[in-house]
Amino acid sequence: MDGERNGPRVSARAVLVDPRGRILLVRHHDGTRDFHVLPGGRLELGETAEEAVRREVLEETGHRVRVLRLLWVREFLPERHLGHPLHSTSRQQLQLVFQVEQEQEQEPGPQPPLPLRPDRTQTALVWHPLADLADLTLLPLGLTAELTALAAGRPTRTYLGDLA
- Higher-confidence position of 6 and 20: 20
For the chain, the domain total comes to: 1
Query: Rounded to whole angstroms, how far apart are CA atoms 12 and 98?
Result: 7
CA of residue 28 relative to chain centroid, distance = 12
Residue type, 126: V
Q: What is the CATH classification number for the domain harbouring 13?
A: 3.90.79.10
Please determine, for residue 102, whether its predicted confidence score (pLDDT) is greater than 90: yes
Write out the residue range of the structural domain in which residue 16 sits: 2-162
pLDDT on residue 105: 66
pLDDT digits (tens, 9 = 90+) for 9-40: 999 999 999 999 999 999 988 878 899 999 99
